[in-house]
Amino acid sequence: MRLDKLLVNMKYGSRKEMKAVCKNKQVTVNDEVIKDSSINIDPVNDKITIFGEEVIYKENILLMLHKPQGYVSANKDGLHETVFDLLEEPYTRLKLNIAGRLDIDTEGLLLLTDNGDLLHDLISPNKNIYKTYLVRTDQKFNPDSLLKEFEILDGKNNPYTPSKPFIEKINDFEFYISIKEGKYHQVKRMVEHFRREVIYLKRVAYGDISLGDLEIGKYREI
Ligand code: URA
């Protein structure tokens, strides 16, 4: 990979800026000052520094993050913090996309990747990936009602029949639900259909990836 491409990809600046930075002797490759930004480097095995700071190259990353309530699943939000505010270097330098957003008041497992093919596979309805949620309702509720066929509204307010979920009752107020779609407010709307309100929602698994003991607000590479 060209040195300038690596530095641009890792958000140190534009190609033109990287040319100037190299000319100013602020970039080293394997401890040697490199003035030509167009040279080829091995991003994995070469040690590259810019402004005295090591460049940690990352690619094809899948991060699992334990989203806290109050964070928006978006790149930018004028009002609230976003899940990207939880990340630190070098992950802040990557173009990460969210696979399956969570509502601001939902917590739990969020997957982030810079790999477009993986993103597509994770969110494609044809891949039948089940997402599992822990649900708490405001009143007693028999979650087996959710196994009936019924309609809710999707994100564009079009009627929609959710496919049959898997249900595991915990007690009169709590249950696990696994759904394969990810429509807007889907779990809340499914429960609302039966005149109950979801007062706590947490995604505990995405396909065969489980949240496990990952602390709230923390993330790790998988
Ligand atoms: N269903 C919801 O209603 N909200 C979420 O955040 C995820 C699934």
Same domain, 116 and 136: no
Give the pLDDT confidence score for residue 180 in this predicted structure.
95
140 and 199 share a domain?
yes
Ligand 1 centre to CA of 122 (Å) is 16
Low-confidence ranges of the chain (pLDDT < 70): none
Ligand 1 center to 92 CA (angstroms)? 26
Ligand 1, pocket-test mutation among 83, 187, 199, most atoms within 8 A of CB: 187
Same domain, 160 and 192: yes
Is residue 212 assigned to a domain?
no
CATH of the domain at 168: 3.30.70.1560
Give the pLDDT confidence of 138-195 residue by residue, as tens digits: 999 999 999 999 999 999 999 999 999 999 999 999 999 999 999 999 999 999 999 9
Is residue 178 in a domain? yes
Q: Which atom of ligand 1 is nearest to the CA of 188?
A: 3
Is 142 a member of any domain?
yes
User: What's the domain count of the chain?
Assistant: 3
Catalytic residue numbers read 103
The pLDDT of residue 137 = 98
Q: Which residues surround ligand 1 with Cβ inside 6 Å?
A: 102-103, 106, 185-188, 201
Same domain for 110 and 141, yes or no, is no
Domain assignment present for residue 211? The answer is: no
Burial class (CB in 10 A: 0-12, 13-18, 19+), 185: middle
Q: State the Cα–Cα distance between residues 66 and 9, nearest whole angstrom.
A: 26
What is the domain range of residue 103?
62-123+217-221
> In this predicted structure, what is the pLDDT of residue 24?
96
Q: What is the CATH number of the domain that holds 116?
A: 3.30.70.580
- Residue by residue, DSSP assigns the chain as -BHHHHHHHTTS--HHHHHHHHHTT-EEETTEE---TT-B--TTTS-EEETTEE-----S-EEEEEEPTT-BSSS--SSS-BGGGG--TTGGGS--EEES---TT-EEEEEEES-HHHHHHHH-GGG---EEEEEEESS---GGGGGS---EE-TTS-EE-PPPPEEEE-SSSEEEEEES---TTHHHHHHHTTT--EEEEEEEEETTEE-TTPPTT-EEE-
Residue 107 confidence (pLDDT): 98
Nearest-atom number in ligand 1 for the CA of 203 is 7
141 and 198 in one domain?
A: yes
Q: 206 C-alpha vs ligand 1 centroid, how far in Å? A: 13
Six-digit token string for 157: 């307010």
| pTM of the predicted protein model | 0.91
Is 43 domain-assigned? yes
Q: What is the pLDDT, as a whole number, of residue 109? A: 98
- Residues 43 and 88 both lie in one domain: no
Task: Please indicate, yes or no, if residue 19 is contained in any of the structural domains.
Answer: yes
- Report whether 83 contacts 97 (CB < 8 A): no
